[in-house]
Amino acid sequence: MELSSEDAMELGTRSDMHLGADGMMSFYSLNKMSLSTESDMALSTGGNLLQTASDLMTLYSQDKMTLKTDSDMDLIIAGSLNIEMGEDLDWHTDGNMTLSASGTMDLRSDHPMTLWTASDMTLHSDENVLQTASGLMNLHSGDKMTLKTDSDMTLHAKRNLLQTASTGLMNLYAKDKMTLKTDSDMTLYAERNLLQTASTGAMKFFAMKGLSLRTNSELYMGSSDEIYLRSRENMKLVSLHHLNLTASSDIRFHALKDMAFTADGPAGISLSATNASLRLTSSNRDITLNSGESIELTAGQDFLLETDGEINLLPQVASDVNIGITGASVNILGSLTVSESFVINSTVASSGTHTGALVVAGGVGIGKQLYVASDVSVGRDLTVTGSADVNTLSVTNAAVVDGRLTANAGLFSASDVTLGTDQMIIFEPAGTSASTGRPVKWRIRVAANAHLIFESASDAGYTDWKEASNMVPAN
């Protein structure tokens, strides 16, 4: 079947419209093409379905619209493509599906919208791409799926938004802004790479329920502006290879329930907001980053992880977790638990309580040993409940020892040594001890009457010294 016009082509009916062919079906116009019905519209062919117009192409039905072919389906327009439905929109092809417009491509349905092909699917517009459905929006390809526009791209479904490429590549490309929105669940799935890129505009995903992006190969999202994913339920990004999100502006993830990023491949997870903020927010549940290799989170400005649950960074092998903040700080509003070693590579010296590689505003509890390679300055009291081995101890003010002070070498004082009343200095040669009751050579004690008393002095070996030491205190 072939319908051809060098001017405008219009097919209109107030009732059902059905065009069928066992072979190829072709509509061609050098000007505007319009197919309109106030009831059902069905185009069915056992061969190729080709619709081409040099200007505007309009397909309109107040009821159900079905385009079906057992081979390739091509809609090619030099101008805009406008398809509007009062009910279901169902396109089905067993071969390739191509929708191309040099202007705006607009697909609307008040009910479910389905684009299904067993082979490649391509939607291409030089201007805006707009797909909207009040019901379910389903884009399915048995092989490669490509949605491309040189301007804005918007996909909006009141119910579920499902895009799936069974065995091939899924590619969503917008030269300006890209927006995917649904009032219910959103699922993007590809057996091979899932590539989403917005060249100069923001990339946004909004789901009133769950949001899921999954591929058995690489998952990549790139934007020269902002990347924003929001879900009122669980959010999952799953890749069996590399999970990579890159934006020159903010990257924001917001879920009211669990948020999970999973990459099982050797390249791991990479989230990079090169010039702005990186934010992962889960209002009531956990944030989990699970990687078979490395996890890299990079922000040119603020890096924010917020959740009322737990934040889990889970490399499946012994790999590094790198959090890189260029010229900014990492702020942890809650507690931080480290199960293994915690290493700080900074060599900044400390000159007070507010400087150094590690600054702690409150107290510090240490369960085991503490080794300090340089000076230690204590601003207040120092309490040692056990023994203290010190090579050199310098005390600027007073030092108070409640227990026993033992000097294994000489004891020197450059000033006075004061003893309390009835206290003594005990001289114990080797092998003697006052505490064990063994003989003590002699002791010096200052009595309450200020007399200096030498006690327990033995004559053995000390006769001259003892006889010369009969001293009487001055009156």
Domain finish residue from 280, 302, 325:
325
| Residue 144 covered by a domain | yes
Tell whether 422 and 288 lie within a shared domain: no
Is the pLDDT at 464 greater than 60? The verdict is no
pLDDT of amino acid 461:
45
| Residue 467 covered by a domain | yes
pTM recorded for the entire structure: 0.70
Tell whether 263 and 122 lie within a shared domain: yes
Domain finish residue from 269, 302, 325:
325
Given pLDDT bands bounded at 50, 70 and 90, which one contains residue 320?
Answer: low
- Alpha-carbon distance of 99 to 187, in angstroms, equals 22
Tell whether 319 and 409 lie within a shared domain: no
For 119-156, the pLDDT digits (tens) are: 988 898 898 898 998 989 999 999 999 999 999 999 99
What are the backbone angles phi and psi of residue 127, rounded to the nearest 5°? -120, -140
Domain finish residue from 308, 325, 342:
325
For 343-383, the pLDDT digits (tens) are: 898 899 999 899 999 999 999 999 998 888 888 888 887 78
- Alpha-carbon distance of 13 to 55, in angstroms, equals 22
Tell whether 292 and 426 lie within a shared domain: no
Domain that holds residue 67: 2-325
| Residue 297 covered by a domain | yes
63 CB burial (10 A radius; 0-12, 13-18, 19+): middle
| Residue 123 covered by a domain | yes
**Count of domains in the chain?**
2
Tell whether 419 and 307 lie within a shared domain: no
Closest CA to 125 of 78, 177, 66, 159: 78
